[in-house]
Amino acid sequence: MTDTAPRPTLEAVAARAGVSRATVSRVVNGGDGVRDILVERVRKAVEELGYVPNQAARSLVTRRHDAIAVVVAEPETRVFADPFFALQLRGISKELTAHDNQLVLLLTEGRDDHARVGRYLAGGHVDGALVFSLHLDDPLPELIQRAGVPTVFGGRPGWSGDRHGVAYVDSDNRGGARDAVRHLVGLGRTRIAHITGALDQTSAVDRLDGYRDVMVDADRRLIAEADFTPAGGERAMRELLDRCPDVDAVFAANDLTAAGALRVLRESGRRVPDDVAVIGFDDMLPVAEQTDPPLTTVRQDIEEMGRLMARLLLRGPDQGTRREGVGGTSSSVVLPTTLVRRASA
Amino acid sequence: MTDTAPRPTLEAVAARAGVSRATVSRVVNGGDGVRDILVERVRKAVEELGYVPNQAARSLVTRRHDAIAVVVAEPETRVFADPFFALQLRGISKELTAHDNQLVLLLTEGRDDHARVGRYLAGGHVDGALVFSLHLDDPLPELIQRAGVPTVFGGRPGWSGDRHGVAYVDSDNRGGARDAVRHLVGLGRTRIAHITGALDQTSAVDRLDGYRDVMVDADRRLIAEADFTPAGGERAMRELLDRCPDVDAVFAANDLTAAGALRVLRESGRRVPDDVAVIGFDDMLPVAEQTDPPLTTVRQDIEEMGRLMARLLLRGPDQGTRREGVGGTSSSVVLPTTLVRRASA
DNA sequence: CTGAAAGCGCTAACAC
DNA sequence: GTGTTAGCGCTTTCAG
């Protein structure tokens, strides 16, 4: 578990190149202000010896780590049941790699883990953190703020009294929801229902708000609460059918939920989209394309969200739009969504 | 991006507790051989100062990092389209956390990334690596071996001439496939087809072998090659229907493929399982439970695979079953699979 | 433009 | 048991 072969040090390279350690260091770190001849000699020595800088030693003096933590709160299995997380990670990874940063993944399962993560972040092991805060009452954001690590959140954090200058990247959930519902309206539907997501997550709340924006004085019975799962979607759809048999369209908070609704609709003998039009959210391919009929849905560019989070963090908190001041700056970003038309609406 | 507040050092704690740095160090690292009174005093000082050890300084001298790299080769989007990866990661994370190790995630997208990963691993930043080698011709394993980092592979690595003593964790793909096909046979089916996965991955090859184990002299036309995707499944199913209209069962290399096959079967007017029984592989819940009818499939415990990989790595290469010798030891593990019966077969 | 020297914060012998 | 001491490998003033 320890290093096997004793790796060459700066010293060794210096000796071989016939220069001082300082010079080698300079060359290794960008090599400005060193004569070309020496640069060449050092490069050669590095090559021959297979020298790789010792990051620990470097960090010790620079106090930087070129590493950022990605914290994923994972109380539910749900997030693992969809590729959301993986895609976001991919975007993050790409951006970090481009900036020579490492990605330290911190998965939390429960209360105990919060403390662990807090400690780790406070321990100054990383230069920043990317945090996915899934629930309104999540204690993590608080802990992290206290750890004093530059942070960007994935998805609008929902803690009460939004702190000043929290940086986050989110999809335009509300706008996307509006587009979906407007599309339904454009189809001539009048009894448009909404199956919500888990309302302790801002994305669910925002999508509900978007629905309400369009359906200003909608029948309250047209709103059924679910939790982003297929099972929840089925349950909600049954309720809906029960309360409002005349429903002619459903906007579900995500694709999984929509898939559940679809199934219940079919069972009940309704044809989609003829009798009831259905729209989902996410455009989670393996789900949206496989349903019967394929799902019309609101797409968000998940990978891009990840990339942006990383970019925002690496750029640092000082480059926001507003002037620095109380509470810092930290511009946040909200990405647009697009409606993807398939057969269900 | 740098540390903000100057954190207290061992020195500071020592001063406050009125002891030497060495004593504080001892207490911090397990505190054996220190008088209880002093332990107490040190603990208090640590608490009051909010002392957290500087990992860089520690690594510099111990040459350990308490960090392992997880390398995921990602040439295809496929892997991201299913929760496989996330589940495995979760298992790994749990085990590492339990042993106070950090998880450094390395995602590779293409050729350039290989070099980067190789350099990182060779750089001695981590104590070991967990590698998901997806394709037979993947250059990564080679690179990694050369880097001289203890490594455990996820899935049997497929490079020609299997090197001595490569540690890996895999599912019993072959056995699982056998179970599936036997189940089909038990159902009285005689024209049992197989839709393969991408045959440049050992899992696909092993599943095909399992099929052949049971269908010893099967009609060759009953085997159609696909690539683990739903689209591939559709294509293969069409071929199959074309070549052998009398097919009465299909064992697909994974659930996604099975889902595609299911769709084509329905289109063609076949009833499942009455006319054609279908079995998948993976038990990828969001897919297997959502198909119509729900999929009978071979389940593998993915999270456990991840956990085992980490355990194997942390335990070190010296504790294998065999004696140490040329090529080391490194016991590998193959996990059993179980058949999950749903409606499709 | 280059080298010498002083640590970064910690652990691990080795004395006491 | 506890303290003293010598680095781990690197960056970075500061001289030259």
Q: For residues A293 and A311, what is the distance between their CA atoms, to the nearest angstrom?
A: 38
Checking if the pLDDT of A109 tops 90, the result is no
Determine the pLDDT at residue B163.
Answer: 58
Protein CA A145 to sugar C1' D6 (Å): 39
Protein-contacted positions of strand D (CB under 7 Å): 1-5, 7-13
Residues in chain A closer than 8 A to B82 (CB atoms):
83, 286
Determine the pLDDT at residue A330.
Answer: 58
Determine the pLDDT at residue B318.
Answer: 46
The segment(s) of chain A belonging to CATH 1.10.260.40 are 10-62
> Measured between CA atoms, how close is A245 to chain B, in angstroms?
24
Protein CA A2 to sugar C1' D2 (Å): 29
Confidence of residue B250 (pLDDT cuts 50, 70, 90): very high
**Closest amino acid to nucleotide C2 (CA–C1'):** A23
Write out the E strands in B159-235.
167-171, 192-195, 223-224
Burial B117-127 (b: 16+ CB within 10 A, else e): bbebbbbbbbb
Averaged pLDDT for residues A60-74: 90
Checking if the pLDDT of A202 tops 90, the result is yes
> Measured between CA atoms, how close is B125 to chain A, in angstroms?
7
Checking if the pLDDT of A318 tops 60, the result is no
pLDDT in tens, A266-297: 999 999 999 999 999 999 887 888 888 999 99
Determine the pLDDT at residue A180.
Answer: 98
Quick one: CA torsion of A143, A145, A146, A150, rounded to 10 degrees? 120
Confidence of residue B92 (pLDDT cuts 50, 70, 90): very high
Instruction: Report the amino acid identity of residue A215.
Output: M
Determine the pLDDT at residue B9.
Answer: 93
Q: Could you tell me which CATH number the domain at B173-301 has?
A: 3.40.50.2300
Determine the pLDDT at residue B292.
Answer: 86
Cβ–Cβ under 8 Å, residues B286 and A81: yes
Protein CA A12 to sugar C1' C2 (Å): 18
Strand D reaches within 7 A of the B5 CB: no
> Measured between CA atoms, how close is A5 to chain B, in angstroms?
8
Q: For residues A53 and A95, what is the distance between their CA atoms, to the nearest angstrom?
A: 22
Strand D reaches within 7 A of the A64 CB: no
Structure tokens at A125: 């092991």
Determine the pLDDT at residue B112.
Answer: 79
Checking if the pLDDT of B1 tops 60, the result is no
Contact (CB<8Å) B56/A54: no
Q: What percent of chain A has pLDDT over 90?
A: 65
Helices (H), chain A: 10-17, 21-28, 36-49, 55-62, 84-98, 111-122, 140-147, 173-186, 202-214, 230-243, 255-267, 285-288, 302-315
Residues in chain A closer than 8 A to B150 (CB atoms):
1
Choice between A204 and A324, residue whose per-residue pLDDT is larger: A204
Confidence of residue A321 (pLDDT cuts 50, 70, 90): very low
> Measured between CA atoms, how close is B81 to chain A, in angstroms?
6
What distance, in Å, lies between the first and last C-alpha atoms of chain A?
A: 56
pLDDT in tens, A231-278: 999 999 999 999 999 999 999 999 999 999 999 999 999 999 999 999
Q: For residues B152 and B267, what is the distance between their CA atoms, to the nearest angstrom?
A: 44
pLDDT in tens, B140-156: 888 888 888 899 999 98
- For domain A10-62, give its CATH number from 1.20.1250.20, 3.40.50.1100, 3.40.50.300, 1.10.260.40: 1.10.260.40
Structure tokens at A22: 């300082």
Contact (CB<8Å) B1/A80: no
In 3D, which of B91, B54, B92 has the Cα closest to residue B70? B92
Q: In the predicted model, what is the mean pLDDT of chain A?
A: 88
Cβ–Cβ under 8 Å, residues B211 and B182: no
Averaged pLDDT for residues A72-92: 73
Determine the pLDDT at residue A273.
Answer: 96
Confidence of residue A305 (pLDDT cuts 50, 70, 90): very high
Determine the pLDDT at residue A222.
Answer: 98
A81 touches chain B (CB under 8 A): yes
* Dihedral pair phi/psi, residue B337, rounded to 5°: -120, 165
Cβ–Cβ under 8 Å, residues B126 and B149: yes
Confidence of residue B327 (pLDDT cuts 50, 70, 90): very low
Peptide linkage before B273 cis (omega within 30 of 0):
yes
Q: What is the CA radius of gyration of chain A?
A: 26
Averaged pLDDT for residues B104-124: 85
pLDDT in tens, B230-241: 999 999 999 999
A60 touches chain B (CB under 8 A): yes
The segment(s) of chain B belonging to CATH 3.40.50.2300 are 67-170+303-335, 173-301
User: What is the CB neighbour count within 10 angstroms for residue A337?
Assistant: 25
* Dihedral pair phi/psi, residue B116, rounded to 5°: -60, -45
Q: For residues A40 and A20, what is the distance between their CA atoms, to the nearest angstrom?
A: 14
In 3D, which of B254, B247, B242 has the Cα closest to residue B272? B247
Determine the pLDDT at residue A2.
Answer: 39
Q: For residues B318 and B329, what is the distance between their CA atoms, to the nearest angstrom?
A: 7
Determine the pLDDT at residue A140.
Answer: 82
Q: What is the CA radius of gyration of chain B?
A: 26
Cβ–Cβ under 8 Å, residues A126 and A67: yes
Q: Which CATH architecture has domain B67-170+303-335?
A: 3-Layer(aba) Sandwich (3.40)
A1 touches chain B (CB under 8 A): yes
Checking if the pLDDT of A69 tops 90, the result is yes
Burial status of residue B91 (CB atoms within 10 A of its CB: 0-12, 13-18, 19 or more): buried
Checking if the pLDDT of B83 tops 50, the result is yes
Apex A149 CA angle, A146 and A155, nearest 5? 90
Q: For residues A28 and A10, what is the distance between their CA atoms, to the nearest angstrom?
A: 9
Burial status of residue B146 (CB atoms within 10 A of its CB: 0-12, 13-18, 19 or more): exposed
Choice between B94 and A73, residue whose per-residue pLDDT is larger: B94
Choice between B115 and B317, residue whose per-residue pLDDT is larger: B115
Q: Which residue is closest to A8 within chain B, CA to CA?
A: B123
Determine the pLDDT at residue A164.
Answer: 61
Q: In the predicted model, what is the mean pLDDT of chain B?
A: 88
Choice between B318 and A219, residue whose per-residue pLDDT is larger: A219
Choice between B96 and A7, residue whose per-residue pLDDT is larger: B96
Given the DSSP bridges, would you call strands A277-282 and A249-252 parallel, antiparallel or unpaired? parallel
Peptide linkage before A141 cis (omega within 30 of 0):
no
Q: How far is CA A215 from CA A195, A219, A226, A278, in A?
A: 14, 9, 19, 16
Choice between B30 and A80, residue whose per-residue pLDDT is larger: B30
| Cβ partners under 8 Å of residue A38, min gap 6 | A17, A19, A23, A27
Averaged pLDDT for residues B282-297: 89
C-alpha B124: how far from its chain's center? 23
Window from A181-190, B74-83, B206-215 with minimum mean pLDDT: B74-83
Apex A74 CA angle, B94 and A168, nearest 5? 125
Cβ–Cβ under 8 Å, residues B231 and B260: yes
Contact (CB<8Å) B52/A124: yes
pTM, entire model: 0.89
